[in-house]
Amino acid sequence: MRNYLEKLANKQNLSFGEVKEAASQCFTDQISDSEIGAFLIALRAKGETAEEIAGLVQIIREHSLQTTNSIPNAMDNCGTGGDGSNSFNISTTAAFVIAGAGVTVAKHGNRSISSKTGSADVLEQLGISLALSKEQVEEILTENQIAFLFAPNVHPKIKRFMKVRMDLRIPTIFNLIGPLTNPVELNTQLLGVNRRDVLPMMAETLNKLGRKRAIVINGAGYMDEASLAGDNYITLLDKGTITSFTLHPTEVGLPVYDNGQIRGGDAKQNAEILLSVLKGNHGPHLDTVLLNAGLGLYANGAAATIREGVTMAKESIMSGAAMEKLQKLIQYSKKIPSEAI
């Protein structure tokens, strides 16, 4: 570890293999919390690369309790958080819409960290279990095309990293990698980030992690979701090729709304918003979900264009398919013995 710390201190990038070795050491008792903290700070001070992010993510996934590659063409739609918008749970709501349109969504998430209500908080409010085993996740993904993977359940071995993060109280590489550590082997992904400068790097990271197709987005107002407030900055990964462009909601037939109109609240309020959207109630919440779900369907390749993705998303909601995915997940959860999380 000392050699890697010295290299980072000298502003030298670590290779994919070097980061994997350093990260592996952090999972042993031979490395102290201080050394883990020094590793995270040194990476941040130098500036993380795609190889370094991918290497750390791969080791974390290898230590997950639920790593699986048995689900074909699975995707995730998740943001890194930290945008300070206090929006409702956009990606969580959009996940049911994407699933309702026929795409398998392995939704990976956590409780609230930087926002009022995290994906786990709102889903728990709706009656969805956070305690799915690997076998249960695989079963429900096969039967219902959407399941929720609660990060602390699938990554219990990174508790030391989390403790060091809390002690440091500054952003680290972990502020970027949460959505990348999904233990399900993903074919495609929609990734939201709150930093516009990292879009190409995160797309390259997804490429190194084996994604065939993905979108990395920073929304208007620097949201880690697509926004109706103006231009959204997008980087597309398609079979190794990376391109960037902007998207205004009017280009796909959607209206403009200020980001203040999509603020959320506590878990109960956000659950009510989610249900309202899946019932097809018109307004800024619904239109925001249509844009994000449309982008997800385009990222997956199920839609040939973003506009077509928005149309498919609307059909998923209006037909009741998205709501049916939610209800089936709730019913499945009722069969699972409750566990204290």
CA distance readout (Å), 266 to 118, 262, 280? 9, 13, 21
92 is in an annotated binding site: yes
Question: Is 89 assigned a ligand-binding role in the annotation?
Answer: yes
Q: Does 129 belong to an annotated binding site?
A: no
Q: Kindly state the tokens that stand for 291.
A: 């844009």
Rounded to whole angstroms, how far apart are CA atoms 301 and 313?
14
Residue type, 178: G
Helix, strand and coil in the chain, % to nearest 5: 50, 15, 35
Q: Does the annotation list 64 as a binding residue?
A: no
Question: Any known ligand binding at 87?
Answer: yes
107 assigned ligand-binding residue: yes
DSSP state string for 175-198: HHHGGGG-SB--SEEEEE-S-GGG
**Is 119 a known ligand-binding residue?**
yes
Residue 296: which of 32, 99, 7 has the closest Cα? 99
33 annotated binding-site participant: no
The answer on whether 79 is annotated among ligand-binding residues is: yes
330 is in an annotated binding site: no
Burial class (CB in 10 A: 0-12, 13-18, 19+), 168: middle
4-10 own/partner pairs: CB under 8 Å, 24+ apart:
4/39, 5/35, 5/38, 5/39, 5/42, 8/39, 8/42, 8/43, 8/45, 8/46, 9/42
> What is the DSSP-derived secondary structure letter of residue 305?
S
Is 336 annotated in a binding site? The answer is no
Q: Is 244 annotated as a binding residue?
A: no
194 is in an annotated binding site: no
What amino acid occupies position 197? D
90 known member of a binding site: yes
- Quick one: CA dihedral 35, 41, 46, 51, positive or negative? positive
Collapsed DSSP state (helix, strand, coil) of residue 32 = coil
Q: What are phi and psi of 340, to 5 degrees?
A: -75, 125
Spatial distance between the Cα atoms of 216 and 209, rounded to a whole number of angstroms: 14
Q: Which residues are annotated as a binding site for anthranilate?
A: 79, 110, 165
Q: Which residues are annotated as a binding site?
A: 79, 82-83, 87, 89-92, 107-115, 119, 165, 224-225
Q: Which residues are annotated as a binding site for 5-phospho-alpha-D-ribose 1-diphosphate?
A: 79, 82-83, 87, 89-92, 107-115, 119
Q: Which residues are annotated as a binding site for Mg(2+)?
A: 91, 224-225
